Amino acid sequence: MAYFPYLVAAWILACGLYGLATNRDLIHQIICLIVVQSSTYVMLLAAGYVTGGIAPYFSDVPGTPKAVDPVVQALALTDVVVEAAVTALLASFAIQAHKRFGTLDPQDLAEFKG
């Protein structure tokens, strides 16, 4: 059981990659990329967990009790922001592709390119 959360992250990664490889719609692929990125949240938070640790918020806790690592949690926040930025950009590329070629199928789009 000591490695179970890491395997969950790996499984989410595999699901996302499967979707990326097999889907034939740019919007679906963007969602699959979000799934891939979600695995990194699970991985980061699992890596920073300390058995018996509380969340690193001490407003109602006296002293400095054992808490989970705040650094990976801050990294997870960065991760979320980057994901939002990437998703927004990819969505606008998808819109532009659909406007120009009338399709969102990556295979058809590759044909248009020549």
- Residues lying near other proteins in the complex (CB under 8 A) are found at 1-7, 10, 13-14, 17-18, 21-22, 24, 46-52, 55-59, 64, 67-74, 77-78, 80-82, 84-86, 88-89, 91-93, 95-96, 98-99
CB of 112 to other proteins, least distance (A): 16
Within 8 A by CB and 6+ apart from 74, the residues are: none
CB of 113 to other proteins, least distance (A): 16
In the block, residue with structure tokens 């390119």: 113
CA distance 81 to 87: 10
